[in-house]
């Protein structure tokens, strides 16, 4: 399944390369909402909240009011997760809060699952250079994404694996890395990081992995009508 991504920064829809360099920016949030209506789930990431430099709460609420969304970026407390869910998010994506300097924080994921329900918690296992990276991809930990997924699996409803090394590059996802996470858990895995074609999305789908796509959609490399299928 293809999951379109809406990344928000400074009040705009953006696409970054490896979370750092701005490649695309759009003020047409309503236009993108309309284009994504035929998809069963849309991913919304508040990059400002992830970086700890403000938020785009009003825009997040607008998208969640129009589309079925999983929302991430700066979800560091149970209260924040509850606020997003109350704003209309179907699921919340949690990254940094689930880790310590040494690895996985099991008490944190248990607290989130207990407060909002395991099925509404997506654990982020983003990796750079093979190891989990947090705090807006600025801090790398000594644990691999697969090991983190295995440890968090009893308490998370699913996993978002982002291969930061190729994120935003349209160079193709590192399939071996995504499969390592897939094999580590029985939960649903969603993968992101350089996905560039519908053939790649279909290959991931056959392996039981959903595909988050951003840059390839915004540049027109992937045709949304073909990706969404015929109107219902």
Nearest to 127 by CA among 147, 112, 113: 147
Q: Is 205 a catalytic residue?
A: no
Active-site choice (48, 126, 147, 210): 126
Task: Extract the tokens encoding 41.
Answer: 């789930």
Q: Measured between alpha carbons, how far is 76 from 82 in angstroms, rounded to an integer?
A: 11
Active site residue 46: no
Q: How far, in Å, CA of 128 to CA of 193, rounded?
A: 11
Buried b (16+ CB within 10 A) or exposed e, 99-109: beeebbbeebb
Which one of 7, 48, 147, 210 is the catalytic residue?
Answer: 7
Count helices and strands in the chain by DSSP H and E runs: 10, 13
Positions annotated as catalytic residues are: 7, 126
């Amino acid at each position: 399944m293809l999951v379109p991504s809406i990344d928000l920064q400074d009040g705009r829809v953006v696409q970054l390369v490896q979370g750092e360099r701005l490649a695309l920016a759009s003020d047409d949030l309503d236009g993108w909402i309309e284009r994504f209506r035929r998809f069963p789930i849309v991913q919304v990431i508040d990059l400002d909240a992830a970086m700890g430099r403000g938020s785009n709460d009003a825009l997040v609420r607008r998208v969640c009011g129009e589309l079925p969304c999983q929302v991430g970026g700066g979800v560091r407390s149970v209260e924040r997760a509850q606020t997003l869910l109350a704003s209309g998010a179907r699921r919340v994506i949690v990254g940094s809060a689930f880790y310590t300097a040494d690895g996985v924080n099991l008490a944190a994921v248990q607290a989130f699952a207990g407060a909002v329900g395991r099925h509404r918690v997506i654990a982020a296992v983003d990796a750079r250079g093979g190891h989990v990276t947090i705090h807006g991809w600025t801090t790398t930990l000594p644990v691999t994404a697969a090991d983190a997924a295995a440890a968090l699996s009893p308490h998370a409803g699913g996993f978002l694996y982002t291969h930061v090394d190729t994120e935003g590059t349209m160079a193709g996802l590192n399939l071996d890395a995504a499969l390592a996470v897939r094999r580590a858990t029985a939960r649903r895995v969603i993968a992101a990081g350089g996905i560039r074609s519908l053939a790649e999305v279909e290959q991931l789908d056959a392996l039981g992995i959903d595909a988050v796509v951003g840059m390839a959609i915004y540049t027109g490399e992937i045709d949304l009508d073909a990706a969404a299928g015929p109107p219902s």
